[in-house]
Amino acid sequence: RSKETGRDAITVFDTSMRERIERRVEIERTLRTAIERGEIGVAYQPVVSWPDGRVLGVEALARWTKGTERVAPTEFIDVAEESGLIIPLGAFVLDEALRQVAWMRANIPSAKDMYASVNVSPRQLQSDDFADIVAETLHRHHLPGGALFLEITESVMMGDTLAAASAMTALTSLDVRLSVDDFGTGFSSLSYLKRFPVDVVKIDRSFVSGLAHDESDASLVAAIIKMANALGLATIAEGVETHEQARRLIELGCTKMQGYLFSAPVPMGELVETVQAIGGRTTSFDRRRRCAP
Ligand code: C2E
Ligand code: MG
Ligand code: MG
Ligand code: MG
């Protein structure tokens, strides 16, 4: 009996394994043409200064609609990295994000200093012409380097550091700023933060989620903020979903945040309205405060 169960288990395993591989192959095959077919889009999530409600920037997040199906970024970004398709995909997201931010800066008074924050994979940062592509794209949209943040992961600082370090230096001389994404989930150490020209640490959502009820998460977040301050770095908290989390973050000294509390990533067409709605919340706070005795 137990033998049979074992064999069934193996069959199930084989099937799901095969399905996973087939799906990966299918994703790689269709991703090649997805950009040209216009299936790839970009969603934008505001980075908010809180509680004043200023939208400092927007993070660009790739979206893929394949027929009626939406493929999750966590699924296709991995495939793109392994296949090298992240190079054209990344260039596309960068171009779209800068176009959008140039438009926002020119047309929305409260957004005249807004920046785009674009995720960059290790493979892009290690390619020879990455800094040139960034410079060209900024130039094409008539934007200064200060209109762009690039989000790198801790693994970039640990990997082939020579190529990545020279790209980072070139980017810094363009005034492009760098942030470390998902901070605390990798193996980075303080020495990396000191060695690389990083400006911002993004505190990973997994620590933020427990902030209001888990003492160890709260201590971790407090430690990250202290450490960042000591190194002269700013912090942005990711995945803020509740007012209680936002309140704790402010107490701990982190006043820049992203998350569903303010807005999920939205398509380009909803960005203006979203930015104004976030700012509008503050206006009502201020009004209340002014009326208070
Ligand atoms: P990330 O850069 O850390 O982006 C944050 C992710 O958290 C996004 O998932 C966003 O939709 C989600 N998120 C934001 N606020 C909340 C919240 O309050 N609660 C929860 N539960 N989730 C929240 P998304 O869009 O699925 O992207 C996943 C990851 O895929 C990104 O993580 C990033 O590492 C990668 N990615 C997305 N677009 C690109 C891209 O253009 N290039 C590269 N290299 N990577 C990308
Ligand atoms: Mg990111
Ligand atoms: Mg992140
Ligand atoms: Mg990430």
List pLDDT tens digits, range 118-159: 999 999 999 999 999 999 999 999 999 999 999 998 888 777
Q: Letter for the amino acid at 231?
A: L
**Ligand 1 pocket mutation, candidates 76, 85, 119, criterion most atoms within 8 A of CB:** 119
Q: How far is CA 72 from CA 221, 227, 240, in A?
A: 28, 33, 20
User: Which of the four pLDDT bands, split at 50, 70 and 90, describes residue 168?
Assistant: very high
Question: DSSP string covering 39-84, please?
Answer: -EEEEEEEEEETTTTEEEEEEEEEEEEETTEEE-HHHHHHHHHHHT
Q: Where are the alpha helices (DSSP H) in the chain?
A: 2-34, 73-83, 86-107, 122-125, 130-140, 154-158, 161-173, 190-195, 205-208, 215-230, 243-252, 271-291
pLDDT higher than threshold 60 for residue 289: no
- Tokens of residue 66, six digits: 């394949």
pLDDT higher than threshold 60 for residue 103: yes
The residues lining ligand 1, judged by C-beta closer than 6 Å to any ligand atom, are: 45, 61-62, 72-74, 77, 90, 93, 119-121, 151, 181-182, 205, 238-241, 258-260, 265
Closest Cα to atom 43 of ligand 1: 119
List pLDDT tens digits, range 19-40: 888 989 999 999 999 988 999 9
List pLDDT tens digits, range 217-238: 999 999 999 999 999 999 999 9
Task: Indicate which ligand has the atom closest to the C-alpha of 240.
Answer: 1
Q: What is the pTM of this model?
A: 0.91
Cα(194)–Cα(179) distance, integer angstroms = 13
